[in-house]
Structure 1
Amino acid sequence: MSWDDFADHAKAAADWGADYHRTLRDRPVRAQTAPGDIAAQLDATPPEDGTGLADIMADFETIVMPGITHWQHPRFFAYFNSNAAPASVLAEFLASIIAPQCMLWQTSPAATEMETRMMDWLRQGLGLDPAFQGVIQDSASSATLAAVLTMRERALDWAGNTRGLSGQPTLRIYCSDQVHSSIDRAIWVAGIGQDNLVKIATTGDLRAMDPAALQDAITQDRAAGYVPAGIIAATGATGMGACDDLQAVASIAARENLCSHLDAAWAGTAMICPEFRPLWEGADQFDSIVFNPHKWLGAQFDCAAHFLRDPDLLRQTLAIRPEYLKTHAQGDITDYSEWSIPLGRRFRALKLWFLMRHYGMEGLRTRIRNHVAWSQALCHRLGAEDDFDIVTEPILSLWTFKVAGASDDATQRLVDAINDDGRIYLTQTLVDGQKVIRFTAGQFDCEERDFDTAFDTITEIARAL
């Protein structure tokens, strides 16, 4: 393909993309294919001869698209949205065209310097202390793993990377029983072990980690010969939106000389709106914080904002400097590969620059406020129906419900029936041991009418069952 041909195909792809988004409401939200349907249409062996792009695009329409769940659909109310605002898509297109590998300052100075500035724009937008510095990770999972590795190294006096974990004291990490599974996985990968992730019971409507129980667990572990290493708190946990008492957790971490990390992967975006910040009061006292602009802010996946009070702790954990990775330049420079687990780095800052410049912080706040208001209005509307129970009240735009008196099996049948219908997409979760239906809103271009459709779909299908 020549670059002249590329230009023609790229224009056609852009037209296709615009039409796709214009017609999303006409498509079922979740893929309606059965397991194996797509694989059955793909050749078992690679082609020996090339194929024209027109034929490939035709196959893309007939083979790929039926098996796509539409994460950009305005009625995607499952999981947390993975957004792609048009300005972000254009930035990703440009980044793909120039295709830089941004591991060092010298391998693309613009990428490094823009990342520094964009992370400071986000810090200001969130109202965080100027002491925080930021780095863009691929996901909150990677940021949390980096935080856990830092906890491990600091607790072992930086000996884990050099001597390994054999023969070292047994470390303990503390979190609530509501945290995302990525925390468990980080504990596995860091070599600390699942048995040493101490999950603290939660209390209250926000399902906050019990500070007294946290303190008791740390005290008992020290007495038993364990070495407490860190605490991971949550604001807006995935299941039902649990939010820890951050001031209480941070106070315990400071008193016990433990590293602290805050997972605000979804809810952190809402903190650009000052009225929502009581949910993470005390965040400034944490050593590190992560939230995902790709979840609610509109940035294309992947893009996780990782803030650090003292980046030197992370660099001491992850930095490795063979001669071929050294930047020899005058002046103060940053090599963000020393702040990340992967060496290779994409030009993720570009989409944040496009996004924040094009919509402005107030435009982004308006979207967040609308999502919260529309979701909470739907919750109250459904709760007013005699045959539905609201199980957990809204935390921002996330809440849970069930049909009154429904068993776990009946609840799952309702979830499956709603998703098979195609008009909206929901997921189930567990709250206090019972299966409930989870609703969350955050698709970048959703409108109030989409929440009316959600009400109609839920009530119609539930009553038909």
Structure 2
Amino acid sequence: MLDKKSFRKEAHKLVDWMADFYENIENLPVKSLSKPGEIINQLPKNPPAKGESFDQVFKDFESIILPGMTQWQSPKFHAYFPANSSYPSVLGEMLTATLGAQCMIWETSPAAAELEELMINWLKPLMNIPAEWTGCIQDTASTATLAAMISAREKKSNWSINQSGFDNQKLKFYCSAETHSSIDKAVKILGAGVENLVKVEVDESLAIIPSSLESAIKSDIENGFIPCAVVAAVGTTGTLAIDPVDAIGDICKKYDVWLHIDAAYAGTALMLPEYHSMITGIAKADSFVFNPHKWMFTNFDCTVYFIKDEEALIKTFEILPEYLKTSTRGQVKDYRDWGVPLGRRFRALKLWFVIRDFGIEGIQTRLREHMSYAKWFANQVNENQHFELVIEPKLNVVCFRIIGSEKNEEQLDELNAKLVAAINNSGEAYLTHTKVKGKYALRMVIGQTYVQQHHVEESWQLIQDKANELL
């Protein structure tokens, strides 16, 4: 069993291992090559009766667990959206784990609450969020969106549903078919029923069509339903499509509907002044979410949730049992009232470390570099007769496919599925796919913290090599 002396010794060894891991991560398969059941079958079925040495535990970690991990911090990880880390973030996370604080209210750790408030205040002017808004740090965008949807439900029902439950409330929620699945989940959880989530038509760029949204709202009103909330995506998961916030905001204001903006990934680009136009009209919205843990070099989990009406949020989630009453209530922000969980991690610390270590200029430089690499990659696709872009690239995401000589769409889908499998099975890069207007497409996401031009070039060469083998 570890004691103070052995803890110090092993901790020093772990830090050296961590530094070596990052230096050598490019030599590991990006996507784990493990087969289903392979990990659990190497481990004992029952826990040990007596404690084991840390040396033995760590040997099993290296030989069994590590090969079963997909390397999200590899500069050749181009799948999904990144869950980025960085050196300052890792150090901040280590201190958070060491402190082991449960930061549910101000009194349980005043510095945690006030640093969280400071991070919100730092980010607002940088991202062009209205100065009068406030916010907090949640775990994921799914949780923040759920908080927004429940707040919208309560405000629309004058907080009666929290008190009495649904009583034939015919609430309707709206988003595009391109919006993240967390919206569907939120509508299920809050009790409205997924049948009352309206998927609105999109245009050629896969952004929601405002006139179609208004038509859907008007139709629902005529049929006795109550429009409750709209989710506008600033960067959809599939293609980074950007819904027209300003026009949607006008519609929401006209019909008294809550507007939530989901910018989970693309929101980080708002750190660049040239991308503030993505949220033109945000003052008409009610809430906004983005994930520093996706593209702002901060360890998962760390989601920033901004809200216009702080009191509406607190009124929705506030519960005050005797054991949580404090003398400072009303003078400070008790973030347990700002969302679903009572318990809260000290997430602000690692974000503070990242911003101070990189500086705003450092963050901006990295973001612009990632976008320049994506532009280079898109040009390579355009210039290669065997490939095509399936939609105009946005930010640092390129959706493309191999076309070969066969024009049958079903066969092209199969060919592209084989291509992405060949790439991932090589262990040398990791990409995922999406469907764009019905076409199977590969997504090249260039956003890992320390990715460089040569990594992108190597991945492009790999893609071409695997394509040539298939052709």
Task: State the TM-score, normalized to the length of structure 1.
Answer: 0.98
Q: Which residue of structure 1 lines up, in the alignment, with residue 461 of structure 2? A: 456
Match of 2:437 among 421, 432, 439: 432
Q: Which residue of structure 2 lines up, in the alignment, with residue 409 of structure 1? A: 414
Q: CA deviation at 1:2?
A: 1.2
Say whether 1:418 aligns with 2:419: no
The structure-2 alpha-carbon separation of the partners of 1:451 and 1:172, relative to structure 1 and needing over 3 Å to count, comes to same
Give distance in 2, aligned partners of 1:386 and 1:280: 36
How big is the alpha-carbon RMSD for the aligned residues of Structure 1 and Structure 2?
1.0
Q: Which residue of structure 2 lines up, in the alignment, with residue 94 of structure 1? A: 95
Task: Give 3-state SS (helix, strand or coil) of 2:79's partner.
Answer: coil
Give distance in 2, aligned partners of 1:374 and 1:64: 33
Q: CA deviation at 1:157?
A: 1.5
The structure-2 alpha-carbon separation of the partners of 1:118 and 1:320, relative to structure 1 and needing over 3 Å to count, comes to same
Give distance in 1, aligned partners of 2:119 and 2:94: 19
Task: Give 3-state SS (helix, strand or coil) of 1:10's partner.
Answer: helix
Q: Which residue of structure 2 lines up, in the alignment, with residue 109 of structure 1? A: 110
Letter in 1 for 2:228: A
Q: How many residues align?
A: 463
Q: Which residue of structure 1 lines up, in the alignment, with residue 379 of structure 2? A: 380
Structure 1 stretches of 4+ moved >4 Å:
none
Q: CA deviation at 1:171?
A: 0.4
Task: Give 3-state SS (helix, strand or coil) of 1:417's partner.
Answer: helix
Deviations 1:126-184 (A, max 9, x none): 1221111110000000000001101111111111111111x232100011111000111
Deviations 1:324-365 (A, max 9, x none): 111213872110000020000000010111111111011001
Deviations 1:187-221 (A, max 9, x none): 1101111110001010032x111110100100010
Give distance in 2, aligned partners of 1:273 and 1:37: 44
Letter in 1 for 2:101: P
Q: CA deviation at 1:3?
A: 1.7
Q: Which residue of structure 1 lines up, in the alignment, with residue 187 of structure 2? A: 187
Give distance in 1, aligned partners of 2:280 and 2:361: 22
Letter in 2 for 1:10: A
Letter in 2 for 1:256: Y
Give distance in 1, aligned partners of 2:453 and 2:315: 48
Contact preservation (8 Å) 1:111, 1:349: yes
Give distance in 2, aligned partners of 1:329 and 1:229: 35
Give distance in 2, aligned partners of 1:163 and 1:106: 32
Give distance in 1, aligned partners of 2:424 and 2:376: 22
Q: CA deviation at 1:98?
A: 1.0
Give distance in 1, aligned partners of 2:18 and 2:415: 39
Give distance in 1, aligned partners of 2:465 and 2:350: 40
Letter in 1 for 2:170: T
Letter in 2 for 1:415: V
Letter in 1 for 2:337: E
Q: Which residue of structure 2 lines up, in the alignment, with residue 119 of structure 1? A: 120
Give distance in 2, aligned partners of 1:386 and 1:338: 56
Q: CA deviation at 1:284?
A: 3.2
Q: CA deviation at 1:455?
A: 1.0
Say whether 1:339 aligns with 2:344: no
Give distance in 2, aligned partners of 1:154 and 1:318: 12
Give distance in 1, aligned partners of 2:274 and 2:85: 25
Give distance in 2, aligned partners of 1:254 and 1:73: 44
Give distance in 2, aligned partners of 1:271 and 1:248: 19
Letter in 2 for 1:341: V
Give distance in 1, aligned partners of 2:320 and 2:398: 47
Q: Which residue of structure 2 lines up, in the alignment, with residue 306 of structure 1? A: 305
Structure 1, unaligned stretches of length 5 or more?
Answer: none
Task: Give 3-state SS (helix, strand or coil) of 1:439's partner.
Answer: strand
Task: Give 3-state SS (helix, strand or coil) of 1:307's partner.
Answer: strand
Contact preservation (8 Å) 1:105, 1:334: yes
Contact preservation (8 Å) 1:105, 1:327: no
Give distance in 2, aligned partners of 1:408 and 1:387: 14
Letter in 2 for 1:281: T
Task: State the TM-score, normalized to the length of structure 2.
Answer: 0.97
Give distance in 2, aligned partners of 1:297 and 1:456: 28
Q: CA deviation at 1:124?
A: 2.1
Task: Give 3-state SS (helix, strand or coil) of 2:185's partner.
Answer: helix
Q: Which residue of structure 2 lines up, in the alignment, with residue 12 of structure 1? A: 13
Say whether 1:30 aligns with 2:35: no
Contact preservation (8 Å) 1:104, 1:327: no
Letter in 2 for 1:436: A
Contact preservation (8 Å) 1:175, 1:197: yes
Q: Which residue of structure 1 lines up, in the alignment, with residue 258 of structure 2? A: 259
Give distance in 1, aligned partners of 2:360 and 2:8: 33
Give distance in 2, aligned partners of 1:24 and 1:280: 37
Matches within 5 A, 1:170-249: 170-205=170-205, 207-249=206-248
Deviations 1:68-100 (A, max 9, x none): 000000010000000111101101101111101
Letter in 1 for 2:235: G
Deviations 1:374-415 (A, max 9, x none): 011111112110110110121101121111145211111111
Match of 1:443 among 444, 448, 457: 448
Task: Give 3-state SS (helix, strand or coil) of 1:199's partner.
Answer: strand
Determine what percentage of the aligned residue pairs are the same residue. 40
Q: CA deviation at 1:323?
A: 1.3
Matches within 5 A, 1:291-370: 291-329=290-328, 332-370=331-369
Structure 2, unaligned stretches of length 5 or more?
Answer: none
Contact preservation (8 Å) 1:29, 1:73: yes
Give distance in 2, aligned partners of 1:184 and 1:351: 30
Task: Give 3-state SS (helix, strand or coil) of 2:8's partner.
Answer: helix
Letter in 2 for 1:217: A
Letter in 1 for 2:128: G
Deviations 1:228-250 (A, max 9, x none): 10110001110111110000011
Q: Which residue of structure 2 lines up, in the alignment, with residue 269 of structure 1? A: 268
Contact preservation (8 Å) 1:31, 1:66: yes
Q: CA deviation at 1:279?
A: 2.2
Task: Give 3-state SS (helix, strand or coil) of 2:361's partner.
Answer: helix
Say whether 1:60 aligns with 2:65: no
Contact preservation (8 Å) 1:76, 1:424: yes
